[in-house]
Amino acid sequence: MKNLLPKLWIFIAPVVFLPSLVAEDYFVTWRPDLWPKDDKNYQCMDIPEDLRLCFNVGYHQMLLPNLLEHETITEVKQQAVSWVPLVHKACHPGTQVFLCSLFAPVCLERPIFPCRWLCEAVRDSCSPIMQAFGFPWPEMLKCDKFPLGDVCISMNTSSSNDTDTSPGATSVCPPCDNEMNTDGILEHMCASEFAIKTKIKEVKIDNLDRKVFLKNKRKPVKLGTLNKQDLKKLVLYLKNGADCPCQQLENRQSNYLIMGRSVGKQYILTGIHKWDKSSKELKMALKKLKSHKCSAFERVFK
């Protein structure tokens, strides 16, 4: 997928160029007298390559502890990996920078929080995507706890308009908008509680959602908390999917790898991939699934 993130600069008043940063679209306004006073012993360290969320964010070093109270790089990795699929959805051009300003703050003498408006912009663009997968915007990213100005990470609004990544920019329903590759399938699988191989029987509009009925022949790939009785009567909801296209739901002849999770009293459709016997990517994903360790989405998003 095309990387929509611009390169990074940080601008500081008085203006100082930080050579470790490389973008024009993000900047920090800096007044040392307004820095938070705390007793934490911040350490500067290289962003490790396996911190996938932030390794390519545009700067190379981060502070620990970070702004989410993670004390070790192991804890940062465990929590940050859950957000990688959201960045891949490109719901807002500032998503990665906003998240990394918290998970992997740029290495200055003191950490600097993201601006409240940047949080609100990312939340407003990306929360519909998260809701489609049954995840709420988490309490730890509540925007009113971030600063309104003076000292905060911001974004150049003129350049952010160059690429339209608003929710209306791509009309495909999020669970249906996926690439048939091994990593993508595994990411959807990790965000899901269960996965089955089956065909679509019928699809109905139910208020703002689409109600998806399945054929009786259902082969479990990953059952999670589902029991056999649940599997027999399983009906899925494509959240906020009444108006967005989902090509997979139009083809009733093909088998699909269908993934979902329980939210309240409903089962939410989180991903749907065509079951192609000749696909090496699908075969590899199913093979890797046996030993693949997923991140703890529930701990992060609730």
Condensed to tens digits (0 to 9), the pLDDT of residues 200-213 reads: 999 999 999 999 99
Amino acid identity of 256? Y
Rg (CA), the chain: 21
Question: Helix 73-80 to helix 95-103 angle, to the nearest 10 degrees?
Answer: 150
Q: How confident is the model at residue 79 (pLDDT cuts 50, 70, 90)?
A: confident
Percent of all residues in the chain with a pLDDT value above 70, rounded to a whole number: 77
Half-sphere exposure (Cβ direction) of 206: Cα atoms closer than 13 Å: 14
Q: Are 93 and 165 in contact (CB under 8 A)?
A: yes
pLDDT tens digits for range 105-160: 998 877 889 999 999 999 999 998 888 888 889 998 999 999 987 788 887 644 44
CATH number assigned to the domain with residue range 26-160, chosen from the 4 options 1.10.2020.10, 3.30.1130.10, 3.40.30.10, 1.10.2000.10: 1.10.2000.10
pLDDT higher than 50, residue 50: yes
Per-residue pLDDT band for 47 (boundaries 50, 70, 90) equals very high
Residues 6+ apart with CB under 8 A from 230: none
DSSP string, the chain: ----PPPB----SS----TT--BSSEEEE--GGGSPP-----EEEEPPTT-TTTTTSS-SEEEES-TT---SHHHHHHHHGGGHHHHHTTSSTTHHHHHHHHHS-B-SSS--PBPHHHHHHHHHHHHHHHHHTT-PPPGGG-GGGS-SSSSEEEE-HHHHTSS--STTT--S-GGG----SHHHHHHHHHT-SEEEEE-EEEEEEETTEEEEEE-S--EEEE-TT--HHHHHT-EEEETT-SSS--GGGG-SSS-EEEEEEEETTEEEEEEEEE--TT-HHHHHHHHHHTTPPPP-HHHHH-
How much is the pLDDT for 46?
Answer: 95
CATH topology for the 174-301 domain: OB fold (Dihydrolipoamide Acetyltransferase, E2P) (2.40.50)
The domains of the chain are located at 26-160, 174-301
Average pLDDT over residues 259-283: 89
Q: Is-contact 260 240, C-beta < 8 A? A: no
Q: How far is residue 198's CA from residue 236's CA, in Å, rounded to a whole number?
A: 12
Flag the least confident range among 24-38, 86-100, 257-271. 24-38
Q: What pLDDT sits at residue 206? A: 93
How far is CA 294 from each of CA 30, 147, 187, 232, 289, rounded to the nearest angstrom? 38, 33, 8, 26, 9
The pLDDT-based confidence of 228 (bands split at 50, 70, 90) is confident
Integer Cα distance of 288 and 150 in angstroms:
47
Cis bond upstream, residue 14 (ω within 30): yes
Residues 164-217: tens digit of each pLDDT: 444 444 468 888 876 678 877 887 787 788 999 999 999 999 999 999 999 999
Please tell me the predicted confidence (pLDDT) of residue 238. Answer: 94
